[in-house]
Amino acid sequence: MAEQFILPDLGEGIHEAQIVSILVHEGDVVQEDQPLMEVETDKAAVEIPSPLAGKIVSIHVQAGQTVNVGDVMVTFGNDAEAAPAAAAAASKGPPKAAPPQTAQPQAAAPAARTAGAAPADAASPAKAGRPAKVAASPAVRRRAKELGIDLAAMQGTGPGGRVTQADLDGAASGKPAAPAERAAPAERAGAQAATPAPAVSMAPDSELPDFSKWGPIRREPISQIRKTISNHMARSEAMNVHVMHHDLADVEMLEQLRKDHNLRKQESDPKLTLLPFVIKAVHAAMRRYPMFNASFDHARNEMIYKDYFHYGIAVDTPRGLIVPVIRDVDRKSIRALATELIEIGAKIRESNFKIDELRGGSFTITNIGSLGGIVSTPIINYPEVAILGLGKAEMKAVVVNGEVVARYTLPLNLSFDHRATDGADAARFVGEIKSYLEVPGRLLLED
């Protein structure tokens, strides 16, 4: 009997993906968990494994196509059985195809590999002689093996009876997870916004002039990550009232301290950059100015202050800007932050990270200093209310005690939402950060 494989739930908030490459062909016989194709989601290149062993009789997608969660990707079975299923899939309308891309596949994120299929009838001939397959992603299956949990004995609370990570956590703790249907009202009650965010007004392509009248042109579909960044930035500009405050910190003492550490450090010690000091200085200042570690709820006219300190750190990669989150910076030393920055930077550039590592930030820091430039206006990472951009640290002529001297300086560019706070508080906040960077010994006195 033919069985269709649909694009599974790839993680919280991810509704679509772009096909990067297809790794199998029609007529191939594949094994369970064998990679079928690679897709690109909001932030990660993800390998989709086969949910079962069998023959591929029809592939319903192509490279470059954008597909939604629930769309039919592949039909398994024999040719005669697959014909009606393929016809049914085709009757839903033409696929949302994009011109094929020539981009090379990115390395897959092993922890992000997820797949699932609509469970087939347990009494079907294809399932004869073996138990019905439990609906669960490979990540959930691996976790179940680690915990020694038999998935076949569980009743999943996810869509269609799918077993979720919450189900496993509940089974491990002895407390069953609440079904998604019953949890929905509580989640809605705790949502930050009472009404959906207004749609971002974008001019349609039909309003663009015909550029080919003036010379040759070419069109190329953008990648899924670039589309996500574009939409997110447009939404941030539409939702936030952006204002930027610029200042210049004299970090001569801090630079000497950093260089001295790197010269004397043991092999096991992390190499220090300015960034971990900036993170600690931001946190020290944040305790006096909590309005920058918050979100603005326009629908309820409320400020949502966050009593946790999870800072996003923008990382430049060949695939686009990715913002992993360093959690609990208030509990970590400068040395620990330096080590974590090195580790997470390597994971991001190798695409070896989990989607959850990009979520939950309360404030963001972006650093363009290594690329040059002094002043920038970074876009706020909505629904946060502020982002700090670092410029190029370099020697400049400054006046100290009435004399012009050469000092090592660091530009600080704070973009903030004027709905959440005013320019005076932004100036004080940046001034507080600056004071910690200019006298780094103050950081040693912080809890």
**Among 205-214, 262-271, 309-318, 363-372, which stretch is predicted with the lowest mean pLDDT?**
205-214
pLDDT band (50, 70, 90) for residue 121: very low
- What pLDDT score was predicted for residue 5? 87
Same domain for 265 and 396? Answer: yes
Same domain for 279 and 395? Answer: yes
Containing structural domain, residue 371: 226-444
Of 409 and 442, the one with more pLDDT: 409
**What's the alpha-carbon Rg for the chain, to the nearest Å?**
26
Of 58, 60, 76, residue with least CA distance to 68: 60
- What pLDDT score was predicted for residue 97? 42
The verdict on residue 173 lying in a domain is: no
- Rounded mean pLDDT, 283-301: 94
Same domain for 108 and 235? Answer: no
Is the model's pLDDT at 85 over the cut of 90? no
> 417 has which bridge partners?
242
Pairing relationship of beta strands 363-367 and 311-313 according to DSSP bridges: parallel
Q: What CA–CA distance (Å, rounded) separates 259 from 144?
A: 47
Of 193, 188, 227, 200, residue with least CA distance to 101: 227
- What pLDDT score was predicted for residue 404? 93
Same domain for 252 and 355? Answer: yes
Q: How many domains does the chain have?
A: 2
Q: pTM for the full model?
A: 0.60
CB proximity list for 256: less than 8 A, separation 6 or greater: none
- Rounded mean pLDDT, 133-144: 65
- What pLDDT score was predicted for residue 208? 82
Same domain for 125 and 239? Answer: no
- What pLDDT score was predicted for residue 417? 95
Angstrom CA distances, 108 to 129, 227, 353, stand at 34, 19, 9
**Among 130-134, 337-341, 377-381, which stretch is predicted with the lowest mean pLDDT?**
130-134
Tell which of 133, 158, 188 closes a domain. Answer: 133
The verdict on residue 270 lying in a domain is: yes
Which one from 242, 261, 310, 418 is the annotated catalytic residue? 418
The verdict on residue 168 lying in a domain is: no
- What pLDDT score was predicted for residue 107? 37
Q: Are 353 and 343 in contact (CB under 8 A)?
A: no
The verdict on residue 146 lying in a domain is: no
Q: What CA–CA distance (Å, rounded) separates 184 from 180?
A: 6
**Is the C-alpha dihedral spanning 153, 157, 159, 164 positive or negative?**
negative
**Among 2-6, 165-169, 422-426, which stretch is predicted with the lowest mean pLDDT?**
165-169
Name the E strands within 62-145: 66-68, 72-76
Whether 418 sits among the annotated catalytic residues: the reply is yes
- What pLDDT score was predicted for residue 13? 58
Of 264 and 351, the one with more pLDDT: 264
- What pLDDT score was predicted for residue 199? 46
Tell which of 117, 133, 149 closes a domain. Answer: 133
Tell which of 106, 133, 160 closes a domain. Answer: 133
The verdict on residue 139 lying in a domain is: no
pLDDT in tens, 255-276: 999 999 899 888 888 999 999 9
Of 319, 99, 103, 97, residue with least CA distance to 219: 99
Is the model's pLDDT at 427 over the cut of 90? yes
SS3 29: strand
**CATH at residue 116:** 2.40.50.100
Same domain for 434 and 291? Answer: yes
The verdict on residue 214 lying in a domain is: no
Is the model's pLDDT at 49 over the cut of 80? yes
Q: What is the mean pLDDT of the chain?
A: 78
- What pLDDT score was predicted for residue 153? 79
pLDDT in tens, 145-204: 777 788 777 877 765 566 777 777 778 766 555 544 433 333 333 333 333 444 444 444
Same domain for 122 and 238? Answer: no
Is the model's pLDDT at 359 over the cut of 50? yes
Same domain for 422 and 310? Answer: yes
Of 143 and 330, the one with more pLDDT: 330
Same domain for 119 and 240? Answer: no
Strand order, beta sheet including 54-59:
3-6, 72-76, 54-59, 29-30
The verdict on residue 215 lying in a domain is: no
The verdict on residue 232 lying in a domain is: yes
CB proximity list for 260: less than 8 A, separation 6 or greater: none
Q: Are 140 and 163 in contact (CB under 8 A)?
A: yes
- Rounded mean pLDDT, 96-113: 38
Q: Are 251 and 395 in contact (CB under 8 A)?
A: no
Same domain for 355 and 230? Answer: yes
**Among 51-60, 109-118, 126-135, 427-436, which stretch is predicted with the lowest mean pLDDT?**
109-118
Q: What CA–CA distance (Å, rounded) separates 58 from 12?
A: 29
